[in-house]
């Protein structure tokens, strides 16, 4: 491992190293579940001609266990709850149980009915998940894809992605 560290650029953080090496496994211990947090946005700008939206992609990299999404809570920049599953249903396209190697996607356009003003953004999405049985070393993976589209044509103007962070886990 020290040889690997010697060739890495100084700007590489420990968390990036863990993600790149596949070791982001709740300190290498087996877990029963946890909480992922993802950033995002949901607003229009330039007199409504640009639509800024976020998609959240969740992947079960596990070969044998099913992951269940227990809750999805979206908060605005001030900590106010904008969406709360299971109190409110997720869209039918969202799988709340991900079998081995399955993926699901949650879009802010399907959850939030109003555009957010500048005081209410950016947003946070907290996803609590658990394994259907036992423990595992591979946590649920989450990523955020932010897009900007033309309101008139739907053409994509820009795209950016980032990884969600595992902020809590249950052993």
49-81 tens-digit pLDDT: 899 999 999 999 998 889 999 999 999 999 999
At 143-169, the pLDDT tens digits run 999 999 999 999 999 999 999 999 988
Tokens 């990884």 locate to 163
Write out pLDDT tens, residues 94-127: 999 999 999 999 999 999 988 999 999 999 999 9
pTM: 0.80
Can you give the pLDDT at residue 22? Answer: 40
Three-state secondary structure along the chain? CHHHHHHCCCCCCHHHHHHHHCCCCCCCCCECEEEEEEEECCEEECCCCEEEEEEEEEECCCCCCCEEEEEEEEECCCCCEEEEECCCCCCCCCCCEECCCCEEEEEHHHHCCCCCCHHHCCEEEEEEEEECCCCECCCCEEEEEEEEEECCCCCEEEEEEEECEEEEEEC
Structural domains for the chain = 27-170 (2.60.40)
């Amino acid at each position: 491992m020290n040889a690997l560290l010697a060739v890495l650029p100084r700007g590489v953080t420990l968390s990036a190293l863990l993600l790149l090496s596949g070791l982001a496994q709740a300190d290498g211990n087996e877990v029963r579940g946890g909480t992922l947090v993802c950033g995002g946005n949901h607003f229009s700008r330039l007199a409504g001609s640009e639509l800024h939206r976020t998609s959240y992609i969740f992947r079960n990299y596990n070969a044998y266990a099913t992951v269940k999404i227990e809750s999805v809570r979206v908060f605005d920049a001030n900590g106010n709850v904008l969406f709360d599953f299971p109190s409110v249903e997720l869209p039918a396209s969202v799988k709340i149980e991900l079998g081995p190697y399955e993926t699901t996607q949650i879009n802010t356009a399907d959850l939030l009915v109003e555009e957010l003003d500048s005081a209410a953004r950016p947003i946070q999405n907290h996803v609590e998940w658990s394994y259907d049985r036992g423990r595992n070393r591979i946590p649920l993976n989450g990523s955020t894809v932010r897009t900007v589209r033309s309101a008139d044509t739907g053409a994509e103007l820009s795209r950016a992605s980032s990884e969600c962070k595992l902020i809590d886990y249950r052993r």
